[in-house]
């Protein structure tokens, strides 16, 4: 977990990689890495997502390549087999948490209430994802939760953009923000991977400002 946390603390942004073609996924990932982001979350939202994950993990072994949108223990085992070095979930599934913990992999489950965060805390987790962040209170919710769970760090995702990134990162308990704004479908469809590299660099600049 420490190596992943260090990268998240340094860059503070986690881009989502989504594609139905491994070759395209590799180009997206390369563009993000050129932009300075070395933590990539490959989301399981297409039929080829697992193949994309495996290709990226093999091509870029020095990056932190994780799997997102993982919702079951079986999926957790499969993404680990495919080379994921961390797991992100939209919700809190204790079975998935156990699979990750048994494998020694970081897992950031999604929470949206104090009750879910209490459950995550009692499972031994101290880093979680707030999802969908903008719909469950955004920075105000993060401030409220962190005032009670003082040893927990958050990765808000869902509704985070370049326009509000600073507002989220200004909350001390926020470790990093996840977002799909860094990999817009229009740019990918147009083959404009340079635009993705620029978005990555811009995001790092915002985070450092």
Q: What is the pLDDT of residue 145?
A: 98
pLDDT at 201: 98
Question: What is the crossing angle of helices 114-122 and 138-148, to 10°?
Answer: 50
CATH number of the domain residue 68 falls in: 3.20.20.70
What's the pTM? Answer: 0.96
Catalytic (active-site) positions? 41, 129
Mean pLDDT of the chain: 97
In the chain, the percentage of residues whose pLDDT exceeds 70 is 100
Task: Specify if 127 maps to a domain.
Answer: yes
pLDDT, one tens digit per residue, over 119-139 is 999 999 999 999 999 999 999
Q: Is residue 205 part of a domain?
A: no
Tell me which residues of the chain have a pLDDT lower than 50. none
Q: Where in the sequence is the domain holding 138, given as residue range(s)?
A: 2-200
Is the residue at 207 inside a domain? no
In a domain, residue 180? The reply is yes
């Amino acid at each position: 977990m420490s190596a992943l946390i260090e990268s998240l603390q340094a860059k503070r942004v986690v881009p989502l990689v989504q594609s139905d073609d491994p070759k395209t996924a590799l180009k997206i990932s390369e563009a993000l890495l050129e932009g300075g982001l070395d933590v990539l979350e490959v989301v399981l939202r297409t039929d080829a997502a697992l193949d994309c994950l495996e290709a990226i993990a093999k091509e870029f072994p020095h990056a932190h390549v994780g799997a997102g949108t993982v919702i079951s223990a079986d999926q957790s085992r499969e993404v680990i087999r495919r080379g994921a070095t961390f797991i992100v979930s939209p919700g809190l599934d204790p079975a998935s948490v156990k699979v990750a913990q048994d494998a020694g992999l970081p897992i950031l489950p999604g929470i949206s209430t104090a009750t879910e965060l209490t459950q995550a805390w009692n499972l031994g987790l101290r880093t979680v994802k707030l999802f969908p962040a903008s719909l469950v209170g955004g920075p105000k919710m993060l401030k409220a939760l962190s005032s009670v769970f003082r040893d927990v760090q958050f990765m808000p995702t869902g509704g985070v953009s370049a326009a509000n990134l600073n507002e989220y990162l200004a909350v001390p308990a926020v470790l990093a923000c996840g977002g799909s704004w860094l990999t817009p479908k229009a740019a990918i469809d147009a083959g404009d991977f340079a635009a993705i590299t620029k978005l990555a660099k811009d995001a790092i600049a915002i985070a450092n400002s």
